[in-house]
Structures are given as structure tokens and as C-alpha cells.
Chain A
């Protein structure tokens, strides 16, 4: 416990300048943060970091855990007055649109989990994505992105970019040659997803890193489907990682949030976009996200365990045409998944015999999974791309990205595998005449 007031990151101080020198006399260097206090955890395991990183007990009362700093503004002090003038306003508590200790706590935890120097939380995944992308592009810029992007991100490139005088070329994320061929003189970033939705392609991240470096581009990746226990894209050379934190990171389907992680240099470039576009995360929501993150590692293990068992069961069921789960040898990217993924997730996509009508009947017969969009929650969620996430596409457009008739998108929660298997068994049997199948 300390009575010393915290005005922000105490290690961040104004640049000193040797009198009579030029700008080379400025002595402030970039460092990771901003953090509430030094809390090195580099050598510790994922679960230890998830519990402890960024979580600082209340210095006044000794209350364990980060208090909820539900405040829009902070009392100004000598320590804070000059921070905006000296250009390090991000490192002091001034106003919650700029930063708040509840946001900082979860940002430090996310940075520790992703192996990042810095992180920012946002009020949604799309707030994070739009701020990250627009921080790295300039007037007239061009982006090369995946053709099967998440719909919200597709809309950013398809609807907003032309209005801003920018453009994007969308390419199959498997086709490394086509990605490189799509690069134009004004291309500034490559934007891809580490694992795609819904066919769960595992993208060749090292190849994308290589292309980005050779063409002087920044590589931004959405890793919503592969949270840090599964994959740490920054360690593979990705420049910025974005997530919808509403999914695995929070894990309880009770919050909308987003995050950007990366080097301090690039995240400092995103921060002014956060200020200007205004997608800050409310302190109470920051607290919920921090609490959810504490169990990230243990939740992922439970997701993997139940998803693996259920995938194997589905693969043997006569009513199931095909199962896509990257950690099973039947997945087309299984070899790459073993190389890039530390573990499996809860996302399983499968195709039932009988097409979309059979899939609708299947969902109606299931008791445990909720018929809802989203993923990564502790409860299993199930939906059909043809009438939800990809409903605006034609059947041929869906087929082009692997969404064949009967496609079911399943996010396996942390329920016991035996209960899930029993539920899918009865539902699959109910939609066919094959009594007692499997």
C-alpha cells in the first residue's frame, strides 16, 4: 500500500533538452506502456499473466483487484498540467476519453498476454479496427485485404474507404502470389485475419510478414479467432494485432469491446484516432473485460477440450458431410495449424447432409447451444451463415468462399463434452430416419 498519488505512468517524463543544442539534444526515448507501475511478467506463464498482469490493488484501501474508476475526469495537478503541452498526454490521467486507470489495467494485461509494448481498448472491435487502419493510411492510400473478411471490416473497406478517397483490393487469403500481385505503388497496409470465418482457414502469417517487409508495408491482423493462448501474431512479425474483445478475450457474451496491440510507436499513432473518432471503452466495461480476461487461458483449454471431442464425434456421424476443425488431420490447413497454433479453439464448422433446410431443423432440435451469432463465449453458440452472417451473399458467392449448403457455424463453449455430444447426437438423429445412428 502506498499513499503516493498516481497521476499516470510515473516513468514517463517530459523530454529534457540540453541548452544550446539542436533537436538531437532531446533525451526522451520511447518505451512500453503506459502502465500504472512496473510489473515485469515476461518469464511467467499465460495463466499467471492473465490473472496478475495489469491488475493493481487499490493503493488507498488495500482492496484486492483494480477498482472501477467510474469517472469522466481527473483532478489536475502539476504532474498533469504540462503533459499535453509536452506531447505525452497519453501517459497521464486527464479525461477518460484520453485514458482511465480501469482502461490502463486491462490494456496492460492485454499487452502482457499478446507480448506487446502497448495496447488500447475500444468500445467495440470495429472501433478498434477502424482506428488502427485509419492510423496507418494516408490520403490516396490503398490496402490489400482478405476476400472473406468479417462483414464489418468488409464494410469499412467497401463503404467508407471510397468516401475517404482510398481503395482496397480483396484477395483470397490462401493465394500468396495474388496478394503480392495486388500491391500497388500507393499500398500502405496488408489487412488479414489469422483464422478466417466461417471455414477456419489458418492463414500463412510468415508469408504475409515476408511480403509486407519486402514491400515496405505494415501488416495488420485480426486475431479474434486466435487469442494469445492460441497464437501470438506479434511474435511472428505482425505490426498490429486487433481483436473483437467481445469474443474469446472477454468470453462471457456480456460485453462489446475491442483492442489494438503492437509496438509503442504504432499504438501511439492509433491513440489520436481513438481520441478523434471517440470509441473509448467505458470504465465499467473495462472492469468486466479485465475480469473476463483473468480466466482466458483456462477457458481456452476448456473450449479446446470440448470442441475437440465434439468435432471427433461429428466426424463419425453419418448425417455429417464434413467437419472443419484445424486441429483435426482432416482440416486442409492442419499442418500449418500445428505449426502456428499453440492449441485449438472452440470454433467448429461442419456441413450436414440435406443442405440448409436440414441445418435449420438441426438447430431447432438442439437444446444446449444458443441460436445466436458471435463466438468465444462460455456457452455454445450456433448459427447458419446462409441466413445470418453471409445472408447478403448469393449461394454462388457463398460457395466461392467455402460456405456450401448445410454449413453450420458452431462456437463450442465450456460445457462438458459428453453433454454436448449427447445433445448433437439426439438432434442429428431427430432430423433423419436413421434411428440409433452413431
Chain B
């Protein structure tokens, strides 16, 4: 298997979804419970791969550093956002390399982002609340030519669901249910 991905099975799956689009619908869910202060625990819900249920028994915690009123017990939400973005780009990059017949030796993606907390704090300024810009560098070593790696980079971003969610407007809908208890 090249890059530990079976190309034949990848091809078979792509052609299966082409003939039966229902098999390409992935449904995900997570639950986040507040633990204490800025710390919260995330649990994955079972996902659907096409019409087939898959158990996903994973949990992790997010926290803020002490300087931001937390206890530094886990990565913070911004790091997890970049992790979700970069890990998705990684899947696309490796799947694309495998498809092209490129054997990878190593791939590292280095991310940096700066945001201005005045937006979060509501202090009057022109600062955006979110990241105005995210920077990354992919360090790839393998038997592809520089031109192939550049093309792979372009295609990986174009086909990465998380990268496309970040760069395009996305509808965020939500509601709240509440219960008032006697203080």
C-alpha cells in the first residue's frame, strides 16, 4: 500500500459513490459538556458513513491558559480549530499523493494565526472577532517533483471539506433550551 492507503479500495469507493451518492453522505456529531471554568469535554457521537453506523468512542478536553482565566489543561479552541483544518488538509494531501502515485516520506504542516481579543472583549476597535488571516506551510518530502507537489497543494485545499468550510461563508444555525432553577 502506498502511503498506507489502498489505492484500489480508494478507487472502488470513489466509483461506488459515483454510482450511489447515498454512500458518500457522512453525518457527524459531537457533544460538548462544560466541566469547570474555561474547560470543556468533547465526546464524539456515532457517525454515519453512507447509511451505515460507525461507533466513535473518542473524547478530549479544551481549556485556556491561566492568563485567560483557565488552567491550561488542554489545547484551546483556536488550536483545535487549526488542528481540524490542518488534519483535513493532510487527509486530502495524502489521498491526492497516493492517487498520483507519489510515495511520501514525511509531511508536516506548520500553522500560525494571530487574533485580537479586543473583538471578543467588545472593546471598541476595528478588530475582527475571529482570525483575520491563517498562515501555514506544508513541508513535504517524497518522490514527487516540485511541480507535482505544488499542484497537489492546490488540489488538496480545493477538495478539503474543512478548508472549504473556513474560506467560504457557512450558515450557522442554533437555538438554546434553558431551565431556570432557584438560586
A interface residues, Cβ below 8 angstroms from B: 14-15, 17, 20, 22-30, 84-88, 137-142, 165, 185-188, 213, 215-218, 265, 268
B55 near A217: Cβ-Cβ < 8 Å: no
Q: Kindly identify which residue among B12, B48, B55, B151 contacts A142, using a CB–CB cutoff of 8 Å.
A: B55
Expressed in whole angstroms, the Cα–Cα distance for A148 and B9 within the complex equals 37
Besides A87-B2, A138-B57, A139-B55, 16 more A-B contacts (Cβ < 8 Å) are A14-B7, A17-B99, A23-B99, A23-B159, A28-B12, A29-B12, A85-B1, A86-B6, A86-B7, A140-B56, A141-B55, A186-B46, A188-B54, A215-B53, A217-B52, A268-B9
Q: How far is the CB of B17 from chain A (nearest CB, A)?
A: 9
Expressed in whole angstroms, the Cα–Cα distance for A86 and B4 within the complex equals 10
A29 near B55: Cβ-Cβ < 8 Å: no
A24 near B55: Cβ-Cβ < 8 Å: no
Q: Which residue of B lies closest to A264 (CB)?
A: B12
Chain B window 2-46, contacts with chain A (Cβ cutoff 8 Å), 1 for yes, 0 for no? 100111111110111010000000000000000000000000011
Task: Write 26 A-B pairs (CB below 8 A) sorted by A numbering.
Answer: A22-B99, A23-B10, A23-B14, A23-B95, A24-B14, A26-B11, A28-B11, A28-B15, A29-B12, A84-B1, A85-B1, A87-B6, A87-B9, A137-B55, A138-B54, A138-B57, A140-B56, A140-B57, A141-B55, A141-B57, A186-B57, A213-B51, A215-B53, A217-B53, A218-B52, A265-B16
Q: How far is the CB of B89 from chain A (nearest CB, A)?
A: 14
Taking CB atoms, residues of chain B closer than 8 Å to A25 are 99
Q: How far is the CB of B26 from chain A (nearest CB, A)?
A: 12
Chain B window 54-98, contacts with chain A (Cβ cutoff 8 Å), 1 for yes, 0 for no? 111110000000000000000000000000000000000001100
**Is B155 located at the chain interface by the 8 A CB criterion?**
yes
Q: Kindly identify which residue among A26, A165, A215 contacts B7, using a CB–CB cutoff of 8 Å.
A: A26
Expressed in whole angstroms, the Cα–Cα distance for A139 and B55 within the complex equals 6
Expressed in whole angstroms, the Cα–Cα distance for A20 and B150 within the complex equals 12
Taking CB atoms, residues of chain A closer than 8 Å to B6 are 86-88
Taking CB atoms, residues of chain B closer than 8 Å to A140 are 55-57
**Is B101 located at the chain interface by the 8 A CB criterion?**
yes
Expressed in whole angstroms, the Cα–Cα distance for A420 and B81 within the complex equals 74
Taking CB atoms, residues of chain B closer than 8 Å to A28 are 7-8, 11-12, 15
**Is B116 located at the chain interface by the 8 A CB criterion?**
no
Taking CB atoms, residues of chain B closer than 8 Å to A186 are 46, 55, 57
A26 near B14: Cβ-Cβ < 8 Å: yes
B interface residues, Cβ below 8 angstroms from A: 1-2, 5-12, 14-16, 18, 45-46, 48, 51-58, 95-96, 99-101, 151, 155, 159
A188 near B53: Cβ-Cβ < 8 Å: yes
B53 near A165: Cβ-Cβ < 8 Å: no
Q: How far is the CB of A122 from chain B (nearest CB, A)?
A: 21
A17 near B46: Cβ-Cβ < 8 Å: no
Taking CB atoms, residues of chain A closer than 8 Å to B58 are 139
Taking CB atoms, residues of chain A closer than 8 Å to B5 are 87
Expressed in whole angstroms, the Cα–Cα distance for A291 and B89 within the complex equals 53
Interface of A: prevailing SS? loop
B99 near A26: Cβ-Cβ < 8 Å: yes
Taking CB atoms, residues of chain A closer than 8 Å to B16 are 29-30, 265
Expressed in whole angstroms, the Cα–Cα distance for A329 and B18 within the complex equals 49
Q: How far is the CB of B95 from chain A (nearest CB, A)?
A: 6
Give the 3 A-B CB pairs with smallest separation, nearest first: A140-B57, A87-B6, A26-B11
Q: Which residue of A lies closest to B16 (CB)?
A: A30
Taking CB atoms, residues of chain A closer than 8 Å to B46 are 185-186
Q: Which residue of B lies closest to A23 (CB)?
A: B99
B53 near A187: Cβ-Cβ < 8 Å: yes
Q: Kindly identify which residue among A22, A188, A213 contacts B55, using a CB–CB cutoff of 8 Å.
A: A188
B15 near A26: Cβ-Cβ < 8 Å: yes
Taking CB atoms, residues of chain B closer than 8 Å to A215 are 53
Taking CB atoms, residues of chain A closer than 8 Å to B99 are 17, 22-23, 25-26
Expressed in whole angstroms, the Cα–Cα distance for A142 and B55 within the complex equals 8
Contact flag A86-B2 (CB < 8 Å), given A186-B57, A188-B54:
yes
Taking CB atoms, residues of chain B closer than 8 Å to A29 are 11-12, 15-16
Taking CB atoms, residues of chain B closer than 8 Å to A17 are 99-101
B9 near A27: Cβ-Cβ < 8 Å: no
Taking CB atoms, residues of chain A closer than 8 Å to B159 are 22-23
Expressed in whole angstroms, the Cα–Cα distance for A313 and B112 within the complex equals 84
Contact flag A22-B155 (CB < 8 Å), given A15-B11, A141-B55, A142-B55:
yes
Contact flag A23-B52 (CB < 8 Å), given A14-B8, A87-B10:
no
